[in-house]
């Protein structure tokens, strides 16, 4: 889900009404010193900000004339010397802001239908999250007191609250296909893993074209496309199928192909130096390799280390005593090899026979040792 942008972590409050100003954004900056700058950026992919306009506070007022854009998107307003952002939805409506210097996120925004609904959505989400946290604390207390009846009751209340949250987001999407807040609600559902890929695509297809093409919409669309691709790859790399071939660079910078290293049995091991669970699993893999390599077990580890971290990758190989074949494109999750195998989490392993056919997947801990012993223990 790295493509999906979570905006609700930013605390803000909106209120809306009509405005007749000739400027795109006008505002009252109560208590803000004259000469203070106010910055307006467009929020793009990966939370990248593109400057749009700058205003200077004069007699506690300001105006931003270049705020309106052709496409519906998100804007970020910040006050000089204050890093707290105010998120605005640019729906090409003129807005008027009452900016509170000591509580930017509580500033009032008037004049936009999309911002009005976003305000309601944000308020409800915050209230539900607060109530959920209270219920979780009560449940934890009941668990400490071994009050099973109360634990069960509170679990039911939490489940009911979660359903209310999910249903409210779905209603927003269904009822407002032409508003940015709808795709933001869809993004939140995806990030919370509360809807299937099929549901995500169905809801996305109901949105208007300009909302689909917004920054958040593009992120959701990328998630859908990537998930479909990974699903197909996962089926191709299923037990009984021949493992997808690949070639990549060794730590020495040479090309090495999967077909070059096939043994009687071969483990294709996906890991990374930054992956804690991978590093904790490595001693087990080392033990299995040391015991069965002479009997025909080979391993090729594919690292998902990040660009510029070649030294860290090589150092981890030595530290963990991984004395077998290694390759990496140093492209993190953009590496084409894990994509071929439908890998979405690491560590991940694929056990191949001598012909490169996958005979088992994701064996870890004792299960890996038991399977290799079954295959090579009597060799």
Q: Evaluate if residue 174 carries a pLDDT over 70.
A: yes
* Confidence tier at 47 by pLDDT (50, 70, 90): confident
Dist. CA 368–CA 206, nearest whole Å? 46
- What is the predicted pLDDT for the residue at 254? 95
Q: Comparing 88 with 224, which gets the higher pLDDT?
A: 224
Q: Which of 23-37, 127-141, 240-254 has the lowest mean pLDDT?
A: 23-37
pLDDT digits (tens, 9 = 90+) for 82-117: 888 888 888 777 888 888 888 777 788 888 888 878
Mean predicted confidence (pLDDT) in 363-379: 89
Q: Which long-range contacts (CB under 8 A, 24 or more apart) does 20-25 make?
A: 20/94, 21/63, 21/94, 21/96, 23/63, 23/64, 23/65, 23/94, 24/64, 24/65, 24/66, 24/67, 24/68, 24/94, 24/95, 25/63, 25/64, 25/67, 25/77, 25/88, 25/94, 25/95, 25/96, 25/97
- What is the predicted pLDDT for the residue at 45? 76
pLDDT digits (tens, 9 = 90+) for 2-22: 434 444 433 332 323 333 334
Mean predicted confidence (pLDDT) in 45-73: 80
Mean predicted confidence (pLDDT) in 289-310: 96
* Topology agreement, domain 25-111 and domain 247-374: no
pLDDT digits (tens, 9 = 90+) for 200-216: 999 999 999 989 998 89
Is the CATH number of domain 25-111 2.60.40.180? yes
The CATH number of domain 247-374, selected from 3.40.30.10, 2.40.30.10, 3.40.50.880, 2.40.10.340? 3.40.30.10
pLDDT digits (tens, 9 = 90+) for 330-362: 999 999 999 999 898 999 999 999 999 999 999
pTM for the model stands at 0.62
* Confidence tier at 67 by pLDDT (50, 70, 90): low
- What is the predicted pLDDT for the residue at 302? 97
- What is the predicted pLDDT for the residue at 230? 80
Indicate the domain borders of the chain.
Answer: 25-111, 115-234, 247-374
Q: Evaluate if residue 318 carries a pLDDT over 90.
A: yes
């Amino acid at each position: 889900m790295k493509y999906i942008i979570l905006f609700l972590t930013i605390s803000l409050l909106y209120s809306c009404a009509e405005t007749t100003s000739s400027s795109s954004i006008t505002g009252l900056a109560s208590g803000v010193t004259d000469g203070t700058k106010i910055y307006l950026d467009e929020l793009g992919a990966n939370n990248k900000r593109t400057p749009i306009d700058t205003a200077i506070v004069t007699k506690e007022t300001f105006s931003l004339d270049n705020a309106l854009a052709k496409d519906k998107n998100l804007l970020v307003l910040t006050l000089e010397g204050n890093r707290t952002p105010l998120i605005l939805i640019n729906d090409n409506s003129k807005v008027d802001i009452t900016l509170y210097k000591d509580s930017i996120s509580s500033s009032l925004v008037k004049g936009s239908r999309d911002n009005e609904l976003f305000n309601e959505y944000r308020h409800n989400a915050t209230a539900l999250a607060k109530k959920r946290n209270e219920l979780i604390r009560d449940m934890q207390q009941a668990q400490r007191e071994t009050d099973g009846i109360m634990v069960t009751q509170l679990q039911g209340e939490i489940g009911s609250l979660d359903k209310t949250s999910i249903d409210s987001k779905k209603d927003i999407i269904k009822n407002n296909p032409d508003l940015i807040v709808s795709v933001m609600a869809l993004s939140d559902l995806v990030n919370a893993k509360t809807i299937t890929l099929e549901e995500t695509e169905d809801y996305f297809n109901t949105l208007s074209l300009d909302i689909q093409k917004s920054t958040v919409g593009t992120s959701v669309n990328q998630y859908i496309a990537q998930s479909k691709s990974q699903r197909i790859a996962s089926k191709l790399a299923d037990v009984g199928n021949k493992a997808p071939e690949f070639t990549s660079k060794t730590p020495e910078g040479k090309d090495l192909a999967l077909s070059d290293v096939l043994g009687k049995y071969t483990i294709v091991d996906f890991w990374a130096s930054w992956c804690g669970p991978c590093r904790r699993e490595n001693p087990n893999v080392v033990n299995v390799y040391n015991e069965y390599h002479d009997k025909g077990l080979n391993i090729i580890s594919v690292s998902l280390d990040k660009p510029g971290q070649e030294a860290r990758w090589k150092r981890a190989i030595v530290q963990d005593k991984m004395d077998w074949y290694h390759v990496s494109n140093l492209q993190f999750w953009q590496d084409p090899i894990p994509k071929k195998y439908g890998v979405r989490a690491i560590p991940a392993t694929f056990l191949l026979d001598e012909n490169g056919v996958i005979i088992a997947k994701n064996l870890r801990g004792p299960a890996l040792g038991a399977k290799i012993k079954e295959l090579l223990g009597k060799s």
